[in-house]
Amino acid sequence: MGRKSKRWYLQRKRDFYYKLAKKLQYRSRASFKLMQLNEKFNVIKPRKIILDLGCAPGGWMQVAREIVGDDGFVIGVDLQPVKPFGYDNVVAIKGDFTSEETLNKIRELIPNEEKKVDVVISDASPNISGYWDVDHARSIDLVTTALQIATEMLKERGNFVAKVFYGDMIDDYVKLVKKYFEKVYITKPQASRKESAEVYVIAKRYTGKKWEEKDNIKRERKKESDGELLIKKIKSMRNKEVQNKSDQ
């Protein structure tokens, strides 16, 4: 994400949820976002199996473990290492969740014969460029990959929670999520900073519908540069908006 400014650190130290996380020994202020989301939508329940995509430093894993208890299981994956939690039923993998190799490692850890989880959660953010159109497109790309993984990993009627940066592509993304889940909501928990463009997609009751080829996001390294692909995606979205306006 790049170097943080002195102002960013000062703002964080004055932040209520940052200080509360320190006091209660949570690994990040984001822990309270998941608490609030779950209190409102009841997506995570005791004794369930949870997959956390982009889990570092582990704040969401902590909360998930508190909810599922000793009889549940929490698997996290992130490019960054995550300090062990000291529980037998909480495991973090260092790896790229957009790669098949990492996903196969996750499958090996799922403690049931069907190799399916009850809930997929993701508070992952893309690398921030500082250019809004690019960052929004990167966020949509990342959260679409998370959705695709959810359709492969979830049990039928399982739930999905993911962060996305709000922007002009979000309506199309919500339509995509609705293809696979019975209920879909967009929300922003109180613990999110007011100035932040992040919102959370809450998708409940996976229908069991298989991922469609036309919705694919390629997981392996793409031949074109990330920037070129994003520019194409942004142009495509804007062309669609122009076409829609002309048809009205």
2 annotated to bind ligand: no
158 annotated to bind ligand: no
Residues classed as catalytic: 163
Instruction: Tell me the sheet residues that pair with 42.
Output: none
Is the CB of residue 168 less than 8 Å from the CB of residue 72?
A: no
Whole-number Å distance between alpha carbons of 45 and 60? 14
Whole-number Å distance between alpha carbons of 180 and 1? 31
Whole-number Å distance between alpha carbons of 232 and 45? 41
123 annotated to bind ligand: yes
Whole-number Å distance between alpha carbons of 65 and 87? 9
211 annotated to bind ligand: no
Quick one: which of 43, 60, 54 has its CA closest to 184? 43
209 — phi, psi (to 5°)?
-65, 130
Which residues are part of a known binding site for S-adenosyl-L-methionine?
Answer: 58, 60, 78, 96, 123
